[in-house]
Structure 1
Amino acid sequence: MVDTVELEAAAFRRLLRHLNEARTDVQNIDLMILAGFCRNCLADWYREAAQAAGEPMDKEQAREAIYGMPFAEWKQRHQAEATPEQLAAFEAARQRHG
């Protein structure tokens, strides 16, 4: 029988590959509007899990683990400025979901 943790880890790695290789066009703000989380949220959750396991990790280390490169490099390559429409949709989603 396969360990559930192995399956979860494989699914997580596939999610990261999908976001960071296949769908670099999907902006974090779009993820936040539609799903309520983004790559930065994943990095925060990753860091929290590492720290809970006794592994020191800072924000930049966690983001590099999630983005597959330093965050500054990701931003330069893939992150566009949020449009007024995105900002308005983000604010509306934030108000709806707290």
Structure 2
Amino acid sequence: MKSYLISDNRDTIIGMRLANIEGVLAQTREEIIARFKEAVEDKDIGIIIITEKIFEEMKEEVLELKRTGSSQLIVTIPDRTGLKDKNFIMRYIKESIGIKI
């Protein structure tokens, strides 16, 4: 299984390539959805890494895939500007399993 990055900026892609993680640049919603569907359909990809901005563009699609019990892991990372939402982890847990911690 391999990891795959979908990012909205070249710096993140270059940084992840240093860790031997391939990725693609997607800047419009249509590009983002198309690249995400390609990654989901590729059974060699075990981890799909997306930046915060990409997650915000296709939040419903990502959460739906997670709800279906896909074998692929979807991971959201901050890009070069850092973590935008400081309460992201807590909100994500609450949305995912319905428990407030």
TM-score (normalizing by structure 2): 0.28
**Structure with greater proportional strand content:** 2
TM value normalised by structure 1: 0.28
